[in-house]
Amino acid sequence: MATVALTAALVAYCPQPPNQTTASCECAYNRTALPTRLLPRCLATSLCAPGPERQSITKDSGRSVADSGASIVIVYGFNRSHVRYWYRADPFRSFLNAMRLIVRLLLSLQAVASMLPVHMLVSGERHQGFEAALLRQFAPQLRLLDGDAVGRHRIRIPNWASAFHWGSFAKLAVLSLTQFRRILVLDTDTIVLRNIDHLMHMAAPAFVYRFKCWSYKRPGTSTAGNVPIWEMNSGVMLLHPNEALHARVQALMNSNMTTSRDSGVLKAVHVPSDPSDQSVWRSFFSRVHELPVSYNTFKRTHFASVEEWGRVHVLHDPDVHRSAKIPLASVHGRYVNLTKQAGMQVAEIAASLGVTNRG
């Protein structure tokens, strides 16, 4: 009974936003929640507009973006010493599971008829057979970029980083991709459910703010509790690559430092609730443009109605190994089918290369 009462109290302490829809822009909440570090100033994009006004914006995505100097970017670096703990006995399982996620993302982009080129920034231990198979299957839309080229893209992992998030710091290198006017960076564990090409016409940098409940232990006590945190999630990022910004990030991270966005003075900065690349992004930018929840929705996101799930543009699926269902059956069916299709295609690639397809 005591456990049930404690759980109920923690849930009450960390409520979800009321009446949330896919058009909701959440940064207004970061004034009342308890972030461990102030977030950048947030400017709502036109996509935060309700109803018909927002629909007219997304319908305008028919303007050509294929030759606009814009690209979707996927970042992946395989390093057997950086895999998560459940892969340590067989690190290559981590690579195979990443391939399934990447294939799923690419399939989802095809399914929504995206016209944007896709570039994958690849680093670490490379597997030419899998890379060639991806290029054959998704050409001409997909191209590879060498993330280890002359060390230009390299970012050192800071000592405050959680081992669980070591791989995320490779995303900090995307500011170096100055061959593009702007880039839309998608995590490997995202699925695009509706066309997102129109994002290339939005102001940058742009992120989705999201709610999460951070479990922590109160200093000097054994008492655990939950704190409502509003974070600037890096699973979907619209950015302007910039050599000066990249050089600044690289210099700071390679000296195990980040910067205070208020003073520009070098000092170690990270958010204890999120010891990943997100701590750097939220410290680095003084202001960002906000995208609605629709562009970075989690399976555990609570909407005011089930029908809102039919308006989700990007599903972020970090709990891919868990069986949480998406409330709207049609969307859950698409999710399941894309996951199965990606699994089968990676199995075929593995078989053709003589690789045991373990997962």
Q: Does domain 16-353 have CATH number 3.20.20.70?
A: no
pLDDT for 120: 97
- The domains of the chain are located at 16-353
For residue 276, give the nearest of 185, 160, 188 by alpha carbon. Answer: 160
Q: What's the pLDDT at 286?
A: 83
Helix H or strand E encompassing 154: none
Which residues are CB-neighbours of 204 under 8 A, at least 6 positions away? 182, 238, 239, 240, 289
pLDDT score recorded for residue 2: 40
Q: Are 5 and 202 in contact (CB under 8 A)?
A: no
Q: Residue 220: what pLDDT?
A: 62
- pLDDT of 218: 60
Distance CA 125, CA 107 (A): 24
CA torsion through residues 60, 66, 67, 73, sign: positive
Looking at residue 89, its pLDDT comes to: 92
Query: Which residues have a Cβ under 8 Å from the Cβ of 243 and sit 6 or more positions away?
Result: 176, 178
Number of H helices, E strands in the chain: 7, 13
SS3 172: helix
Angle formed at CA 284 by CA 260 and CA 198, multiple of 5 degrees: 160
d(CA 97, CA 94) in angstroms, rounded, equals: 5
pTM listed for this prediction: 0.88
| pLDDT less than 70: residues of the chain | 1-16, 28-38, 50-67, 150-152, 215-228, 254-269, 320-322
Distance CA 324, CA 326 (A): 7
